[in-house]
A and B are shown apart, each in its own frame.
Chain A
Amino acid sequence: MQIIENTKVKEKLYIDKLENGLTVMIIPKKGIRKKYAIWGTHYGSNNSKFMASGEKEITIVPDGVAHFLEHKMFEQEGGTNSLDVLSALGVNANAYTTNDHTAYLFESTENFEPAFDELANYIQHPYFTDENVEKEKGIIGQEIMMYDDEPNWVVYINAVKAMYSKNPVRLDIAGTIESISKIDKDILYKCYNTFYNPSNMVLVLCGDFEPEKTIEYVKQKQVNKEKVGKIDRIYEEEPEEINQKEIIKKMEVSIPSFIIGYKDKVVTNDIVKRHIAVEIILNLIIGKSSNLYKELYNSGLMLQEAELAYEFTDNYAYIMIGGQSKKPKEVQEYLNKEIENMKKSGLNEEDFKRIKRMIYGDYVKEFNEVGDISRMFLADYFKGINSFDYIEEIEKIDIEYVMSVFKEVFNEDKQVISIVEPLN
């Protein structure tokens, strides 16, 4: 077992690869009552097209299978449902699906072992029938419809659609009512057998654990499966250009919401450094202490701080600046002017230092809660990142590098805007 220590946040990571291929990460937290377990597969909504290891033919499945699987994994032979079993133990259990991974989790203050047994059992023993697959279509259908009524979701997905013409990131994670109607148990088993192999999965535990003991315990709960080789995840080639400049949708809301997006290219080196650079730039441009934010706020063009995000995997990367405004297009104009000016004048050294300090504090705060810590290590792992890297890289980053990323990424030809506006 490898031990990685970070002296700044005063935490240790124990990491091991089990015989069956499962990667296990343990972050011990002495004296914390809550124990958190999250077990994830490197398989998300973007993986509807793939070539399983050892196969020569491409498999294409309907959109929304990864999420559908997430719902169905709880179902057990004999009609029991693992979510019920876990709830009965008094643990808080859940699951979620993202574009690149699916995760099953619970947090407990008591009954960790019986809960973990249940988690290990249901993840390693799927049970799909025609009947239980059919029934889920109604529930997921309501989930899809719920999101359709949420302006925040609509403005987000339209921004992604504006940026991407081919990559499945532009689709709803849950699929559509039409696409899920085609899902059957054979499709679910096919995807399960391909992606839920231990060698494609990671388990993260955070709480008051003794890592050596815990790892032995985890080993006992493993089902040995034949290791699979590389899975080919196939994505249609995505052009560098954006798909369309803007998407505007009318909904019953009081004030427009908007997201301004920048399509970034996928990089394989220095991903952490690039991520930090983008965060710094976003804060310098339109963060809460920026000139631009002051101007927008004082002129009534923005009601509150913009939401800033950089999202990336190995097949897409984008930046989002979101908020509410009576005139989103004017916000966009202000933004573009500010970016042009900053490119000419360069970045302010004092502002740069202050924002770095702030982001350092934000990273340390990420290590406050066992659930946040576990989810962070899991999501970063699938991106090939060790979460401690952020704490180390932020100290080293310099203004020249940040400026070079700024000039490379924040260009109008890669910019889109998505708006949800009132009906009349």
Chain B
Amino acid sequence: MQEKIIEIKKGIKLHLIKNDKFKTNLISVFITRPLNREEVTKNALIPAVLRRGTENLKTQEDINKQLENMYGSNFNCGIEKTGDNHVIKFYLESLNDNFISDTESLVQNSINTLFDIVFNPLLIENKFNTEYIDGEKNNLKQIIDAKIDNKNLYSLIRCTEEMYKDKPYSLYKYGYSEDLEKIDAKNLYEYYTKVINESKIDIFISGDLDSNQIENIVRENMNIKKLNDREGKFIVNIQDSENINNDKVNEVEEKMDVTQGKLVIGLNINNVRKDDKNTMFRVILYNTILGDSANSKLFQNVREKAHLAYTTRSTYIRPKNIIFVRAGIEIDNYQKALDIIKEQLEDMKNGNFTDDEINNAKNYLYSSINSIEEEQDTEITYYFGQELSQAFYSPEEYKKNIELVNKEQIINIANNISINTIYFLKK
């Protein structure tokens, strides 16, 4: 596996990943902008509108028929928050030409179709189609309202909001209902033009492909030719705990009609120098030992010993340098669970973990690093993550860095960790 990066225009990169393991090619376009309150809802609306029709395929039905004819190519789009960036994502997955009997090239057709959707939207009198805008505004409103439906996710979102009050990272990736009223076919198209002309664009193409041929197809595409050089401003994802008042733990309880209580604890990692790239690897190990595998302290103590939870784990949010600890528990067991979790944090501080635990965690991490190239979307996500953090490690270098971490360094991380917020969703 190797990634070849080609600058198509200033601010527009083509990433080619040659990999012959799959029966499919995966093509994606990521448009990245710094997160902010004014744009967040509009960004969420854009992919929804674009998938409705292009100048060539005027309706969703036309697009879908075309995809079905292309041996069921899958189109997908969405919006993600990565650190303090908002990323509009488009994907098209189609069969590699080796598995079809047609003479025409499915890969060329796929690249052109995806670019058509992203860069060549259906316009009526120089603005978006009003019917599509109205429909998608209603749709997005319902998605925003549906924030409460998945209680696990909701509690995580709420804990994030508490930790990053009034900061960009607290923003909900789908935006806010009240912003929708102001959006219409004209001003959204104007905004879209700005986005397409100014934003950082990354195109990833993965599969069993001839790099020169693919580069050519991309460069010769009419929609790509139309694009200009741009600054492509984005927020480099570095270890930045810019948060949040940490004098005293913020404890939040919220009530909803739930059977099980959802506990989320947000941890800060303090005293990190921004230019110190080694910290990341140390925190990754800390987090794995604390709660990221079946051998972890949380799984062993909260689940296996105290039988308080079925799911309990910790997750390291690298771009923000924070950790979330989560557990689904009986509501009455709140204090018990919290005490046990705090004990685990103390144990980490005091170095109460063995060399075996460190080695197990390292093995676990090697395995997930080895798996990166085994799935096309994982591979793309890995390289895009590096693009946004501007830190480039091959999987082998990544493993090397993990290998170098020692116990003392993990203890040092543990002693710089503090609880920022404890959020509990209960009945």
Contact = CB atoms under 8 A, between A and B. Distances in A.
A294 B59 CA distance: 10
B259 A289 contact: no
Nearest to B70: A361
A269 interface: no
B146 A255 contact: yes
Nearest to B305: A135
A402 B14 CA distance: 44
Given A253-B146, A289-B61, A300-B138, A135 B307 contact: yes
Contact of A368 (B23, B142, B260, B293): B23
Interface string B57-89: 001110011011111110000000000000000
Interface residues on A, range: 35 or more
B257 A251 contact: yes
B64 A88 contact: no
A125 interface: no
A389 B138 CA distance: 43
A84 B294 contact: yes
Interface of B: 20-24, 59-61, 64-65, 67-73, 93-95, 98-99, 131, 135, 138-139, 142-143, 145-151, 256-260, 293-295, 300, 303-304, 307-311, 328-330, 356, 359-360, 362-368, 370-371, 373-375
B24 A365 contact: yes
Given A88-B295, A255-B145, A110 B257 contact: no
B150 A150 contact: yes
Contact of B142 (A140, A255, A361): A255
Given A33-B374, A365-B95, A145 B259 contact: yes
A418 interface: no
Nearest to B145: A254
Top 9 A-B pairs, shortest CB-CB distance: A90-B363, A361-B71, A138-B307, A109-B370, A361-B72, A358-B72, A143-B310, A254-B145, A142-B310
Contacts of A369: 374-375
B169 to A, nearest CB: 24
B259 A110 contact: no
Nearest to A255: B142
A191 interface: no
A85 to B, nearest CB: 9
A398 interface: no
Contact of B367 (A90, A298, A361): A90
B71 A298 contact: no
A56 interface: no
B68 A142 contact: no
Contacts of A29: 21
A357 B69 CA distance: 6
Given A84-B295, A298-B135, A146 B260 contact: yes
Contact of B364 (A87, A140, A298): A87
Interface in A130-146: 135-140, 142-143, 145-146
Contact of B68 (A89, A135, A145, A289): A289
A31 B1 CA distance: 11
B220 to A, nearest CB: 26
A303 B329 contact: no
A151 interface: yes
Given A253-B149, A288-B64, A364 B293 contact: no
A139 B301 CA distance: 12
B402 to A, nearest CB: 11
B329 A110 contact: no
A338 to B, nearest CB: 15
A358 B65 CA distance: 10
Contacts of B150: 150
A52 to B, nearest CB: 31
Interface centre among B138, B139, B307, B364 (most CB of A within 10 A): B307
Nearest to A363: B72
Contact of A8 (B99, B151, B371, B373): B99
A254 B65 contact: no
Contacts of B310: 139-140, 142-143, 146
A388 to B, nearest CB: 14
A227 B331 CA distance: 48
B304 A81 contact: yes
Given A33-B370, A135-B307, A354 B259 contact: no
A253 B148 contact: yes
A207 to B, nearest CB: 10
Interface of A: 8-10, 29, 31-34, 81, 83-84, 86-93, 107-111, 135-140, 142-143, 145-146, 148-151, 251-255, 287-289, 294, 297-298, 300, 303, 324, 326, 354-355, 357-362, 364-365, 367-370, 423
Given A139-B310, A288-B67, A324-B146, 14 more contacts: A32-B374, A33-B373, A87-B294, A88-B360, A90-B364, A108-B367, A109-B367, A139-B309, A142-B329, A142-B330, A146-B260, A354-B69, A361-B71, A361-B72
6 contacts: A84-B294, A93-B294, A109-B371, A110-B366, A148-B259, A150-B150
Given A254-B149, A357-B68, A303 B373 contact: no
A9 B99 contact: yes
A252 B257 contact: yes
Contacts of B371: 33-34, 92, 107, 109
B374 A252 contact: no
A92 B293 CA distance: 9
A362 B362 CA distance: 37
A299 to B, nearest CB: 9
A303 B375 CA distance: 29
Contacts of A367: 23
Nearest to A91: B367
A303 B295 contact: no
A249 B104 CA distance: 51
B24 A90 contact: no
A290 to B, nearest CB: 8
Contacts of B308: 138, 142
A108 B370 CA distance: 9
Nearest to B139: A303
Contacts of A8: 99
Given A142-B329, A360-B72, A303 B99 contact: no
A66 B293 CA distance: 24
A142 B309 contact: yes
Contacts of B293: 87
B71 A357 contact: yes
B259 A149 contact: yes
B116 to A, nearest CB: 17
A363 to B, nearest CB: 9
B227 to A, nearest CB: 29
Contacts of A146: 260, 310-311, 328
Contacts of B146: 253-255, 324
Given A90-B367, A92-B367, A142-B308, A252 B148 contact: yes
B71 A358 contact: yes
Interface centre among A81, A138, A140 (most CB of B within 10 A): A138
Contacts of A143: 310
Contacts of A148: 259-260
A357 B21 CA distance: 23
A89 B307 contact: no
A88 B356 contact: yes
A420 to B, nearest CB: 9
Contacts of A370: 374
A368 B24 contact: yes
A289 B363 CA distance: 46
A364 B95 contact: yes
